[in-house]
Structure 1
């Protein structure tokens, strides 16, 4: 009993720290524990592949650093009394989710959603959903018409690549459009390491076991699969509009002025959609980027990183040793950072390898400098600069979906049906 009490106190302290650091509140899919049903078996704690997401306090399970949960679902499957449901959104903070049925089809017949956009961000789930969508399309396949594609796949993440493979397997004509590069898609994943609790099945390829892998290894896998099966991914092609047509087909309009007519559309574009812009003069400059892909190539540059979240901090930390690095953040201090990132950025501030300017906003981006407005002093500061990395979050593709006729509802504490 004394041993249990000591362990319980340790977890209580961790929960307290998580609340202080803003890590207790979930940001995406998370486990919700019914305390009236939980028997404190700790099976959920043992099976969770992440650290300090769950713990036991006073004989029942509790969440700790909920913001770090990526929705593996291992806890849900491990619980012997079904006390855990996987949810998205809390009672006070809603999350915009599109309407989809059990086949991942939206209220607009012929438009499907798979992966993170529908609330399920885990790679294995996304791969399965991409495959299931294509199987649904095969069952309700429309007659072939001239120059009409069976399915347009938008987004080349796990769901998109899986769907592209499945379409080829079932003999469907398809086109896969990616607004970024394949590497960009992989590198937007929030973790440096990707953890899976069980193998995933890729159509035409077979079982893939990536229990503990890096983003680079995943990128190499995607490239291998694409090369082996001769898949064509149209990169740097952003879909601007999906226009439903009278004959139950869709017109896909892209930023490259290409148009496609298709019977079905699969959206596997992620919840971030497009990076949020600062909308300041000079932002369209080639020196501006919204993610860091090859840090080892950036040497002896004056780098400005804009943002105060984990992505911004991690980028600043990656380039600080070989460049003069400044971090600009609009608030007065960091919040909701992963503990390791918080520790590392504080150490970098201490040893002066990164300069942080709090309460600051970018006014304009120029060829050899950036203008920052310091809020407290109401002054504009000129900083010599070569490169700017902006991490201001992503804009949810809500209006893009609504224009295509897809209904979106704000969900509060919504139980994800896929895990029931």
Structure 2
């Protein structure tokens, strides 16, 4: 029996297409395995916060979760979905929704490293009556759910305020201006509560504000009091979400006190609280903590660190074009900041690190740093420390003695101080999660 010529042609085209598909899939899986090996070698294979775990008995390696992850944190290794780039994962959960076999779930901690989470009631109240926690600090990283938690927690706060016999001038102090804090603030406005929102940073957005440009931060709609549905699409970038929040604040008149860091909470005999901050004290009947898990930036505690030219995260390298910059730190965030700055025209970059080598960093960052260092675009001072920061210069302590560098700006990437000790001082009970929801 003769096979028609057109069927032979179509069959050949189909065979080529299948072959190309299999080749590309094989290359991708080799790349995934290499990414996992690189992260493991650098000690970066343990996720810091909320992240997906895979049930190997359910996963059949469809790759749907890999395609759904904008951060490329997931890959297919040995035929199963695997977290190959844990440091990139932000726990927004797009992978969980995309999985056709429901093989993924979001958890905190791992079997090797636990994460402390406050114990909360179903109304998001801690064991300290009148103190509530919503959002990432309470164990939830999804913006949609943290937004809902802020709204629900404020409903519970209303009940506590109604029961209170205190004469405190405020009904509630909200700490944090991320999704949970914004949502709670709008609920406080709608219910005509006397509120105050404190934010340690100088801008709206909390943790979202510090994500890289164009990073996808939200994949599902959320509901806000006074606004309604927050439907911005299936892959919402940082800039779009921040723009939306600023529009909401402008329309509703929601007020924030920026640059005010939480320093302590003192319970009062009448059941109210004195909330101590870097700028004063606030007396309220209830407190809602809507903090992220990044905590407060770890400081160097050196003279001059309070100067306005000192920041603790690089948001936009372009703003430092043509300037003389010092980056302090030895992790990926420090190396990436130095690399991004060095790529700006005319920017002079010095990287200071107290140890003798960069250990827990991605190999890609290490190689890019070496290349820029060889090209003379980054000056690296290992085993050095900042002694003082002055108006137009910084002084380093190095193995060669004190070094004075002309300077326009300092970026300190020394990690964060988690709020766990503060919570424990207040008496809030914690539990440790070892890879559990």
Task: Give the TM interval when normalised to the shorter protein.
Answer: 0.7 to 0.9
**78, 94, 100: which one aligns with 1:58:** 78
Question: How far apart in 1 are the matches of 2:160 and 2:130?
Answer: 10
| Residue of structure 2 in register with 1:43 after alignment | 64
CA 1:222–1:168 in structure 2 vs 1: closer, same or farther (change >3 Å)? same
| Residue of structure 2 in register with 1:131 after alignment | 151
| Residue of structure 2 in register with 1:280 after alignment | 302
The alpha-carbon deviation at position 146 of structure 1 amounts to 4.2
Query: 1:157·1:185 contact (CA, 8 Å) conserved in 2?
Result: yes
The alpha-carbon deviation at position 226 of structure 1 amounts to 1.0
Give unmatched runs, 5+ long, in structure 2: 1-17
| Residue of structure 2 in register with 1:256 after alignment | 279
CA 1:187–1:104 in structure 2 vs 1: closer, same or farther (change >3 Å)? closer
Q: Which entry has the higher C-alpha Rg, 1 or 2?
A: 2
**79, 82, 90: which one aligns with 2:110:** 90
| Residue of structure 2 in register with 1:349 after alignment | 373
Question: How far apart in 2 are the matches of 1:388 and 1:161?
Answer: 30
The alpha-carbon deviation at position 395 of structure 1 amounts to 0.7
The alpha-carbon deviation at position 260 of structure 1 amounts to 1.9
Residue 384 of structure 2 is aligned to residue 360 of structure 1: yes
Query: 1:179·1:236 contact (CA, 8 Å) conserved in 2?
Result: yes
Query: 1:202·1:208 contact (CA, 8 Å) conserved in 2?
Result: no
Query: 2:205·2:242 contact (CA, 8 Å) conserved in 1?
Result: no
The alpha-carbon deviation at position 192 of structure 1 amounts to 2.4
| Residue of structure 2 in register with 1:237 after alignment | 260
**376, 388, 391: which one aligns with 2:413:** 391
Question: How far apart in 1 are the matches of 2:103 and 2:316?
Answer: 44
Query: 1:281·1:363 contact (CA, 8 Å) conserved in 2?
Result: yes
**269, 280, 290: which one aligns with 1:246:** 269
Residue 199 of structure 2 is aligned to residue 175 of structure 1: no
Q: Which moved more, 1:12-21 or 1:63-72?
A: 12-21
The alpha-carbon deviation at position 49 of structure 1 amounts to 3.2
| Residue of structure 1 in register with 2:135 after alignment | 115
| Residue of structure 1 in register with 2:187 after alignment | 166
How many residues align structurally?
Answer: 411
Question: How far apart in 2 are the matches of 1:63 and 1:85?
Answer: 12
Residue 250 of structure 2 is aligned to residue 227 of structure 1: yes
TM-score (norm 2): 0.83
The alpha-carbon deviation at position 344 of structure 1 amounts to 4.7
The alpha-carbon deviation at position 296 of structure 1 amounts to 4.6
* CA offset digits 1:4-39 (Å, max 9, x no partner): 766544432332233234442212111112223433
| Residue of structure 2 in register with 1:202 after alignment | 224
Question: How far apart in 1 are the matches of 2:384 and 2:87?
Answer: 26
CA 1:184–1:310 in structure 2 vs 1: closer, same or farther (change >3 Å)? farther
SS of residue paired to 1:193 = coil
The alpha-carbon deviation at position 133 of structure 1 amounts to 1.0
Give unmatched runs, 5+ long, in structure 1: none
Question: How far apart in 2 are the matches of 1:112 and 1:173?
Answer: 16
Question: How far apart in 2 are the matches of 1:359 and 1:122?
Answer: 39
CA 1:378–1:232 in structure 2 vs 1: closer, same or farther (change >3 Å)? same
